[in-house]
Homo-oligomer: A and B are copies of this chain.
Amino acid sequence: MGEFDLIARYFKRKTPSALQPPAPSATNSVAIEAPPIALGIGDDCALLTPAPGQQLAISTDMLVKGRHFFPDVDPAALGHKALAVNLSDLAAMGAEPVAFTLALALPPERAADDAWMSAFAQGLFALADEHRCPLIGGDTTAGPLNICITVFGQIPVGQALRRDGAQPGDDIWVSGTLGEARLALLALQGQIELAPERLAVLRERLERPIPRIALGRALRAIATSAMDLSDGLSGDLTHMAVASGVGAVLDSMALGKAVGPVAECVSPRPADPVSLALTGGDDYELLFTASPGQRDTVNALAVASALPLTRIGQIRSGSGLWLDDGAGGQSAIARTGYDHFA
């Protein structure tokens, strides 16, 4: 099968449901414009026409075999995750998904593996369809397996959630639970043991992260800053604090709560829950700040969206990250987020 047949077979869809007008969303009371895709796959460029008053949010992520995923990963999960990590960046800005491009380097034996290719495309498009985010262009080449997705979202001008808006006195919040993807990774690497049914649950967190698109949109009017957690809380929160020119104090009790009950179920314990929360990585949850006056609103949002939102600390003036032990002591937190070249 040649390059153009490959594209036609797996990636060119005549009537993607993602091109249909979006359904009304519970967390969005604003009318949504028709998707702005003027031209999709098949020409030198795709063409987008953003609606008046909208900005385009753009993010790109590259996934490399052996670094971002295991060589024997379920291809459907890989297709899902490659798009999910990009959609997570849109969520962090409060943007609505619009479309994505896919550049794919494939070893020839993968390209010839129909079961693998079909499953990859199925995983990719299932998530794309869920977010009405069609594939509008790309590139396919032979080479070591590498997946590069660039995603486009739209957001009303001036409403984007940036990471430089945190103010002293703001609460610090995280969505969902932290550290579960890391536990799954440790188990798959043989560093800890998990019961099979427990591993199955945590492995979903590692391999099929859920981009918090609806939460990001709801936070437009609530949060002072936001970002997604991909490299671990301590490293990511450091980026936010530096961008905002502030420091942060985290509450160790609340952090333990954000990790949830799973840390109690493993043997041997890989680390204390607080360390797991701080250094987890691959969480793809949202980290955001909001003024204390928004606590009721945030708590109501957690209930309405059936997603835990945990208040884990407070922004303060100055710089650095600090851990409050709940007994009056504070200690500096080392930045220990993931770094590909560290």
**Are A6 and B92 CB-contacts (below 8 A) given A57-B47, A103-B60, A146-B105?**
no
Contacting pair A89 B44 (CB below 8 A): yes
CB-CB contacts below 8 Å: A246-288 with B: none
Q: Are B340 and A104 in contact, CB atoms less than 8 angstroms apart?
A: no
Instruction: Give the interface segment out of A13-21, A131-139, A299-307, A326-334.
Output: A131-139
Is A58 in contact with chain B by the CB < 8 A criterion?
A: yes
Shortest distance in angstroms between A261's beta carbon and chain B's nearest beta carbon?
Answer: 29
**How far, in whole Å, are A152 and B139 apart by their CA atoms in the complex?**
15
Q: Report whether B62 and A148 are in contact in the complex, using a CB–CB cutoff of 8 Å.
A: yes
Interface check A292, CB cutoff 8 A: no
List the B side residues contacting A312 at CB < 8 Å.
none
Known: A3-B340, A146-B143. A44 touches B62 (CB 8 A): no
In the complex, A309 has a CB within 8 A of chain B: no
A142 and B67 form a contact (CB under 8 A): yes
Q: A60-B139, A105-B146, A143-B67 are in contact. Are A52 and B49 (CB under 8 A)?
A: no
* Cα distance A66–B57 in the bound complex, in angstroms: 33
User: Which residues of A (74-115) have their CB < 8 Å from a CB of B?
Assistant: 89-90, 92-93, 95, 101-105, 108, 111
* CA gap between A315 and B313 in the complex, in Å: 68
Q: Are A57 and B45 in contact (CB under 8 A)?
A: yes
Kindly identify which residue among B55, B64, B111 contacts A341, using a CB–CB cutoff of 8 Å: B111
A146 touches which of B42, B57, B62, B137 (Cβ 8 Å): B62
List residues of chain B with CB within 8 A of the CB of A342: 2-3
**Range of interface residues on chain A?**
35 or more
Binds B, one of A119-127, A156-164, A168-176, A191-199: A156-164
Kindly state the separation between the CA atoms of A342 and B111 in the bound complex, as whole angstroms: 11
CA of A66 to CA of B105 in the docked complex: distance in angstroms? 12
Q: State the number of copies, please.
A: 2
Q: Contact check, A60 vs B148: say whether CB atoms are below 8 A apart.
A: yes
List residues of A (39-78) whose CB comes within 8 Å of B's CBs.
39, 42-50, 52, 55-62, 64-68
Q: Which residues of B contact A45 (CB under 8 A)?
A: 57-59, 89-90, 92-93, 95, 153, 160
Closest to A143 in B: B64
CB of B146 within 8 A of CB of A43, answer no
**A44 CB contact (under 8 Å) in B6, B55, B59, B105:** B59
Q: In the complex the two chains form, is B44's CB within 8 Å of A228's CB? A: yes
B contact residues around A58 at 8 Å (CB) = 45-48, 101, 136-137, 150, 152
